[in-house]
Amino acid sequence: MTQHGQHAGTVAISPIEMFQSVFTLVEDEMMGDPAYLIAVIIEFLRSVSKAGLKAPHNLYVMTATLLARSNRYAEIALFVSNKILEPCKELAMQLMELGLQHPPTRKLGMDMLRERGLHHDYVTAMLQDGYYLEALRYARKYKVITVQPALFLEKALAKNSAHNLAAVLSFFCEFTPSFKATSDFVRYRHILSEMV
């Protein structure tokens, strides 16, 4: 056997190199229906998984984006549930963005954040969607202290309800004792006093 023949069996390309050197370039140059590229990527992801390797998270993001571009949202959910698209923060954030056009996909992204224990991102997403009271409950349950109280207070103020604003102020006074010493506390307490 020649030296060239021995080398041929050991040549390999890493999933990261495949993403950077092939898939990204093809996506950039592609026009029209991405169905063929999606099929190639899905088979690549299956092969990577079977070999016990990890695909770059950006490949999952690219796949979800290509599927959404073709209005194939049901397949996104299927590939996530079958772990072809592995749960990760990058994919969850992309699903939430894609979900602006397709609410079940946004929920899929939110569920992925929650299941991955990305509590800060989950609470922030709940706030963006207007679920500030649910976000407060979640923050209390999982002790999420990294989200700024002002974000919750702004959402409560937007509802124009003194009761809701008082509840959020009370929550942060109890949840974060140092909150009473902040300018946010002073500002929103003043706003609350003007509302009642």
Residue 44 domain flag: yes
Residue 111 domain flag: yes
Owning domain of residue 35? 3-116
Residue 141 domain flag: no
The domain tally of the chain equals 1
Q: What pLDDT score was predicted for residue 3?
A: 46
User: Whole-angstrom Cα distance, residue 179 to residue 86?
Assistant: 39
Cα dist. 15→24, 50, 77, 93, 183 in Å?
A: 12, 13, 23, 22, 49
Residue 184 domain flag: no
Q: What pLDDT score was predicted for residue 5?
A: 47
User: Whole-angstrom Cα distance, residue 32 to residue 66?
Assistant: 11
User: Whole-angstrom Cα distance, residue 27 to residue 19?
Assistant: 10
Q: Are 162 and 196 in contact (CB under 8 A)?
A: yes
Residue 88 domain flag: yes
User: Whole-angstrom Cα distance, residue 15 to residue 130?
Assistant: 39
Q: What pLDDT score was predicted for residue 28?
A: 81
pLDDT digit string (tens) for the chain, length 196 residues: 444 444 445 557 899 999 998 998 888 877 778 999 999 999 999 999 999 999 999 999 999 999 999 999 999 999 999 999 999 999 999 999 999 999 999 999 999 999 999 999 999 999 999 899 999 999 999 999 888 999 999 999 999 999 999 999 999 999 988 999 999 999 999 999 999 8
Residue 135 domain flag: no
Q: What pLDDT score was predicted for residue 83?
A: 92
